[in-house]
Structure 1
C-alpha cells in the first residue's frame, strides 16, 4: 500500500489536498485526491474537487446564467423527504384511516375491527410510519411533532447529504427509521408509533460521528441530542423511546462505517455496510415474527 506523502506512515490520517489541516476520507472521483466538505462538488457518481469541476466545465458549453463552481448543488433528497412527510401529514388530516393503515405496530386491533401489523404480514409499516406524524385532532400542540422533525431535517439534512452523497445519505436515513421501527417491534410488538424521529435521531448520530472524524464542531448536536433524550425518557410523555434509540444506533453505526473505513475499501463499504444493516434488520423481524403466536410465519 502506498501513501499520499512519501514521509507519512501507513497509519497516517488522510487530509484534504487543498486544506492540509482537515482530515477526510472522501476522494475526488476524477483525480482520486482527498477532499474535505468545502471542496466537494456533487458529480454523477460521488464527488469531485473544485479543480476537476472547473477543468471539466471548460469542455462543456455552459447555459447562460448557470451558476459556477458547483453552486448549483441542492440537497434534493432532503427536500424530497420533507415533501413526503408534508404530503403524508395532509393525508392524515384528510382521513384518520390513513394513519392506522400506515402506522407502525407489531400486531393490534384497528379501529375498524380488523387485526393488522407487521406480524400479520404488513411489513410496509416499518417504512411508512416514518413519514407520518401526530394527527392534529383539535390539539394545537400536536403540530409541533412534525414541525420539530422537519426543522431538524432541514438543518441537519443538507450538510450530511453533501458529506455523504445522496445515495449514502438516503440509505442512512431510511435504515435509521426502519431501525427504530424494528426495535419497537422487538421490545413492544403491541405498541404503536408514528414519526420521522427515529430517522432524525439517526441523522443526529451520523452528524456527531462524522463531525468528530472531520473536525467539525459537534457541541450543538450533542446539546440537541441530550435535550431530546431527556424529553424522550421524561415521565408522562407519550413517546416511543424504542424508535429514537433504534434510529440513533443504526445511524451512528452506518456513519462510523462510512467514516472509519480505509480509503481503499471505501467503495465496497459504501454498498456492503447498508446491505449488512438491512439484512440484520430483516432477520430480526423474521425471528420476532416467528415468535409471535398466530403470526404469518
Structure 2
C-alpha cells in the first residue's frame, strides 16, 4: 500500500501548494512569487542576489547610469541657497532685505568683498547678538569666495539663479553622476569668485550666478560630446550675457564662471573613457590653478596698498 504524495508548498507562502521551482536554488515558488527568467522562473531571493553581484552600468562620464536621475544634488543646492537667503533676511530683521535693497549682516560677513580702501582689513558685524569680525579676501578671508556663492541680493536674484540651476542641473547630474556634477558646480562658482577678485576686487558681489554660468559652459561641451543640439543653449546663454551687461551685474563673475565650466567640461570630455579616474586629477589641477591666481592677486594688492 503506497503512501499518499502531497504537493510541496511555496517557501514564502506555506499555505500554497505548487509544483513550480526556482531554476537556480530549486526552492518551490508559487505563481505570485515566481519571476520570469531567460529560462524558467526564479525566486525573489535569487533575483535580489543576482542584482547585488551585477556590475553597475556606468554613464559616458563615469557616473552611475541611474545616479543623479532624481536630481538629488541639484535639489540640495537649491535648498541650501534658499535656506541661506531666508537666514540673511532674518539676520537683517527687515523684509527690505528680500528685495535686495539692503546689505544684511550675513552679506557683510559672507559676500565676496575683496578689498576695502583706507587700510580696512575686516568688517565687524552684529550677527544675532554676536560680534563677528570678518576679514576681506585680500586680508585672508578666502572663505568669502565660497560663501558668496550661496548669498543673493533679493528674491528676484535668487529666483532667476535657481530656475536655471533646476533646468540645467538635473540634466548634467544625470549625465555626470552626483559627485562629478557637484565638483564641477563648485569649481565653476569658485572660478567666478576668482575672476571677481582679479577684475572687480573693490566691489561687493554675491550669488550663484558664477556657478550657474559654469553649468552653461559645462553643458555646451557635454552636449557636443554626446552629439546633442546646442542651438537653444547658445541662445539662452547669449540672452543672459546681454542681460548681464544691461543690468550691470557682475560681468567678471559671470564670465569667470563660464570659463570655469568650460574648463571642467574639457576635463570631462577630453579624458579617454577608459581613464575616467583622471577626471579627479584634472579637477585637482584646476583647483590648484585657481588658488595660485588668488594668492598671486593677494600679493599684488598687498604690495600696492599695504593691506596686511
Please report the TM-score for the alignment, with normalisation by the length of structure 1: 0.71
**Aligned counterpart, 1:240:** 250
**Aligned counterpart, 2:143:** 124
> Structure 2 CA distance, aligned partners of 1:120 and 1:189?
12
> Structure 2 CA distance, aligned partners of 1:285 and 1:278?
11
**Aligned counterpart, 1:75:** 71
Q: CA deviation at 1:46?
A: 3.0
Aligned-pair RMSD on alpha carbons?
A: 2.4
Q: CA deviation at 1:33?
A: 7.8
* Superimposed CA distance per residue, residues 72-126 of structure 1 (whole angstroms, 9 cap, x where no aligned partner): 9421110110011001110121121011110011112677597841111111000
**Aligned counterpart, 1:228:** 240
Alignment of 1:93 onto 2:89: yes
Alignment of 1:80-229 (within 5 A): 80-94=76-90, 95=92, 96-108=104-116, 116-135=135-154, 143-229=155-241
Change (3 A) 1:158 1:34: closer
Alignment of 1:247-258 (within 5 A): 247-258=257-268
Q: CA deviation at 1:192?
A: 1.3
Change (3 A) 1:74 1:100: same
**Aligned counterpart, 1:259:** 269
Q: CA deviation at 1:295?
A: 3.6
> Structure 2 CA distance, aligned partners of 1:253 and 1:239?
23
Q: CA deviation at 1:286?
A: 0.7
Counting matched residue pairs gives 229
Residue ranges of structure 1 left out of the alignment (5+ in a row): 1-29, 38-44, 49-69, 136-142
Q: Secondary structure at the match of 2:197?
A: helix
Alignment of 1:289 onto 2:308: no
**Aligned counterpart, 1:46:** 63
Larger radius of gyration: 2
Change (3 A) 1:34 1:245: same
Change (3 A) 1:93 1:34: closer
> Structure 2 CA distance, aligned partners of 1:229 and 1:173?
19
* Superimposed CA distance per residue, residues 174-203 of structure 1 (whole angstroms, 9 cap, x where no aligned partner): 011111110110112111101100000000
> Structure 1 CA distance, aligned partners of 2:55 and 2:78?
34
The answer to which of 105-114 and 177-186 deviates more is: 105-114
Change (3 A) 1:222 1:98: same
Residue ranges of structure 2 left out of the alignment (5+ in a row): 1-53, 93-103, 126-132
Runs of 4+ in 1 over 6 A off after TM superposition: none
Please report the TM-score for the alignment, with normalisation by the length of structure 2: 0.69
Determine if contact 2:110/2:144 at 8 Å carries over to the other structure: yes
Change (3 A) 1:80 1:72: closer
Determine if contact 2:218/2:264 at 8 Å carries over to the other structure: yes
> Structure 1 CA distance, aligned partners of 2:164 and 2:84?
18
